[in-house]
Amino acid sequence: MGTLKASAVALAFLATSALAQHAGQHQAVGAADLKWSDVPSLPKGAQIAVIEGPMSQAVPFTVRLKFPANYAIPPHTHPAVERVTVLTGTFHMGMGEKFNRAGAQPVRTGDIMIMQPGTAHYAFTEGEVIVQLHGTGPWGITYINPNDDPRKQ
């Protein structure tokens, strides 16, 4: 039993050492290696894959968001600069506190949209869309209409 315990401690130490050695170093993340999960702060159907950083801390973060066809995000704001790069599909983004499809701008594959903190905006998709979002935390989303917040439903 003592040998098993010592082996477990040694493995834990080696794993911690390996992580420490790679912290702050070059990373390569394959698209197939991303782990997708639901996003409680967005309407049902969105998925997120965290690439780097905890979004809740004052550090850089990079995530990918996947949205199904005909998906909509109600008007909202963020506490920090939002940088959205469209990787696939067309993501329509509009400015203001009212959802207005006609007032939205198409952001196509390869395009980027940069929003300043506190700017009210909304979005919707045509087909499936994958975007990459990066910035510096702490990150959050505040819906203009609190009833739109899926965390309160």
pTM summary value:
0.82
| Residues in the chain, total | 153
- Residue 4 burial class via C-beta count within 10 angstroms: exposed 0-12, middle 13-18, buried 19 and up: exposed
Q: Give the CATH fold of the 34-152 domain.
A: Jelly Rolls (2.60.120)
Q: pLDDT tens across 6-53, in order? A: 333 333 333 333 333 345 688 888 889 999 999 999 999 999 999 999
The ranges assigned to domains in the chain are 34-152
- Residue 65 burial class via C-beta count within 10 angstroms: exposed 0-12, middle 13-18, buried 19 and up: buried
Peptide bond into 138 cis (omega under 30): yes
